[in-house]
Amino acid sequence: MTEYKGETDGVLANPNQPYHTASVGKTFTSVILAILVEKGLIKFDDPIANYLPADILKDLHIYKGTDYTNDIQIKHLLSNTSGLPDYFEDKPKRGKRFLEEILENPSRFWTPQETIHWSKEHLTPHFPPGTGVHYTDTGYNLLGLIIETITSKSFHEVLHDYIFNPLHMNHSYLSQFSEPIIKSQHPVAHLYLKELKINVDNHISFSSFYSGGQTVCTLEDQLLFMKALANNQIIQKETLDIMKQWNRMWIGMDYGYGLMRMRFLPFTQKYLGWGHLGSSGTSMLYFPNMDTYIIGGFNQTTYRSKSMNFIFFNVLRKLANMQK
């Protein structure tokens, strides 16, 4: 079942059209780490200090006068339990939010290292590692750098080598960093921040999202990925089970290792799904009790929470009625 509406520069929306997946890309990053674990190149409980340079580690996690940097493990970054601030969402005590900076200067290219330094300069950690949950893009950019250290390749190269190429996700790429194997005949859908229209590939400052959510994919490519993940074709079931060690993040939503679990209360079992969501209303989810994959995007930041209502009432409930 496919539904699509809208247009891009006068061209009507198409189900084969690529779009910016936002934080759905975190699942790609986490699965790459899981593959590296299975290869014996890293462990989930390894200290991140083993893989990052001194300038990144310096003053990375100082909480109430104590430096906890050396206590941060890979699993803390994956599960958003490191306590590190989020350069994208957290509000600085002084100055502009990061989002304001990248919107005011769209032509600036940001390296992941620069986003880490911005976070250290403008924000403060929330708790010691492993003692709470705070969603953080900062942690995922650190994971991208760790992947580069382990593989001696750029993150976008690893993304293609480990995920996109083996799964024949031919229309997927890391915007500002790589190109798809096959360029789509359809334009990349515009992204909307309320009323502000953004051409994703031309907005250079979006490079800052890096390994935390800068992938551009089609619906079909994401379906290929989720089917492979759910059926243990990318990583082993035992590894996926480790990634599903859930911590409560928000009401009705838990977080594992680069995976979200949706609990539509009070219908927790039948409508239990896992995968990931993005801030522009993107979703890449699997509901095992219904054997249903739900993948899509509103490309509008105002639909961050509305998208879940849409998924429940307009998709899951309708499918449930059809299956009766």
- Asked whether residue 142 is assigned to any structural domain, the reply reads yes
**Last residue within a domain, chosen from 182, 217, 252:** 217
Query: What's the pLDDT score for residue 252?
Result: 85
CB distance 87 to 137 below 8 Å: yes
> What distance lies between CA 13 and its chain's CA centroid?
24
Query: In this structure, are 268 and 119 located in the same domain?
Result: no
CB distance 13 to 5 below 8 Å: yes
Query: In this structure, are 195 and 285 located in the same domain?
Result: no
**Last residue within a domain, chosen from 183, 217, 251:** 217
- Asked whether residue 31 is assigned to any structural domain, the reply reads yes
Query: What's the pLDDT score for residue 93?
Result: 85
Query: What's the pLDDT score for residue 314?
Result: 81
Query: In this structure, are 189 and 304 located in the same domain?
Result: no
The contacts of residue 8 (CB under 8 Å, 6+ apart) are 17, 187, 188, 189, 190
Amino acid at 17: Q
Q: How many distinct structural domains can be found in the chain?
A: 2
Running along the chain, 324 residues long, what does each successive block of 10 average in pLDDT?
65 85 98 99 98 98 98 99 97 93 96 98 98 98 99 99 98 98 93 90 96 97 98 98 95 94 78 93 94 92 79 81 72
- Asked whether residue 4 is assigned to any structural domain, the reply reads no
Query: What's the pLDDT score for residue 3?
Result: 59
Query: In this structure, are 143 and 287 located in the same domain?
Result: no
Query: What's the pLDDT score for residue 167?
Result: 98
Query: In this structure, are 302 and 164 located in the same domain?
Result: no
Query: What's the pLDDT score for residue 250?
Result: 87
Look at the chain and count its residues.
324
CATH code assigned at 110: 3.40.710.10
Query: In this structure, are 213 and 240 located in the same domain?
Result: no
CA–CA distance, 232 with 228 (Å, rounded to integer): 6
- Asked whether residue 6 is assigned to any structural domain, the reply reads no
**Last residue within a domain, chosen from 217, 251, 278:** 217
Query: In this structure, are 130 and 212 located in the same domain?
Result: yes
CA–CA distance, 174 with 160 (Å, rounded to integer): 9
Q: Distance of CA 5 to CAs 13, 296, 299, Å?
A: 6, 11, 11
CB distance 109 to 176 below 8 Å: yes
CA–CA distance, 278 with 297 (Å, rounded to integer): 8
Query: What's the pLDDT score for residue 304?
Result: 73
| 111-134 pLDDT, tens digit each | 999 999 999 999 999 999 999 999
- Asked whether residue 52 is assigned to any structural domain, the reply reads yes
- Asked whether residue 225 is assigned to any structural domain, the reply reads no
Range of the domain at 297: 236-323
Q: What is the pTM of this model?
A: 0.95
Query: In this structure, are 173 and 268 located in the same domain?
Result: no
- Asked whether residue 1 is assigned to any structural domain, the reply reads no
> What distance lies between CA 21 and its chain's CA centroid?
8
CA–CA distance, 66 with 222 (Å, rounded to integer): 42
* 223-243 core/surface letters (b: 16 or more CB in 10 A; e: else): bbbbebbbeeebbeeebbebb
Query: In this structure, are 172 and 272 located in the same domain?
Result: no
- Tokens 């977080």 identify what position? 255
| 18-60 pLDDT, tens digit each | 999 999 999 999 999 999 999 999 999 999 999 999 999 999 9
End-to-end CA distance of the chain: 17
Task: Return the axis-axis angle of helices 25-38 and 137-151, rounded to nearest 10°.
Answer: 40
The three-state secondary structure class of 94 is coil
Residue whose C-alpha is closest to residue 13's, from 218, 310, 180: 218
- Asked whether residue 259 is assigned to any structural domain, the reply reads yes
Residue whose C-alpha is closest to residue 216's, from 14, 22, 2, 13: 22
Query: In this structure, are 191 and 252 located in the same domain?
Result: no
Query: In this structure, are 168 and 240 located in the same domain?
Result: no
Query: In this structure, are 243 and 203 located in the same domain?
Result: no
